[in-house]
Amino acid sequence: MAKKAGEVWVWLGGVLAIAALAYVFMTPYNRTPGVRLGGTLTPPPADWSGLNIERQPGQTTYQSQVMQLKPDGFPPFVVNVWFVGTPKGVISATRHDGGYWGERIHANPNATIRIGDAAYEMTARHIVDEAERKEMGAAYVRKYNTAKTPGMAPEDLANPELWEIFFWTPR
């Protein structure tokens, strides 16, 4: 009986080790947060708008349109977020619902982002000015074609009670 219990623990340990490795090495490229960013630390481009990839008709994946975001601090984690490149930096948004990555950025605005294979050290500025929010929200809506998506129209993204908008610039 003791031998059988030991085999169960070994099997369970193996399953947990495989799950941990999958979490560390695979999830930054899926919808689930992970802990490994990857990519190559790269000098910032002169114009970030060149990093936008517009969604093509019939395209069902948004993978080419997301950036991976790894906030500084502990515990480490990486999450995929939509972004819009502008000439001077990158726009991202999160629902104003106390989500984990948004709260982490409020506590420490430094993060590393990855777009494609390039990683950049960045600092976020929470956008509170109404005119800036409208402009940045409209850019988000244009890129992702969300004007008719409930909760993601331009007026929704401009509403600070619904969305938090961050503008990322190089450190």
- Residues 159, 109 within the same domain: yes
Tens-digit pLDDT profile for residues 55-113: 556 555 444 578 999 999 988 889 889 999 999 999 999 988 877 889 999 999 999 99
Based on the domain organization, do 26 and 105 belong to the same domain? no
Q: Per the structure, how many domains does the chain have? A: 2
* 84 and 100 share one domain: yes
Pair 45, 113 in one domain: yes
53/112 same-domain check: yes
For residues 59 and 111, membership in a common domain is answered with yes
Beta strands at 163-170 and 90-95: parallel, antiparallel or unpaired? antiparallel
pTM: 0.76
Confidence of residue 27 (pLDDT cuts 50, 70, 90): very low
Together in a domain, 103 and 131: yes
Query: What beta strand segments (E) does 48-117 contain?
Result: 66-71, 79-82, 84-85, 90-95, 110-115
Identify the domain containing residue 1 by its residue range: 1-30
Indicate whether 5 and 60 sit together in one domain. no
Does residue 137 carry a pLDDT above 70?
yes
pLDDT at 132 over 90: yes
Tokens coding 125: 């500025």
For residue 44, the model assigns a pLDDT of 94
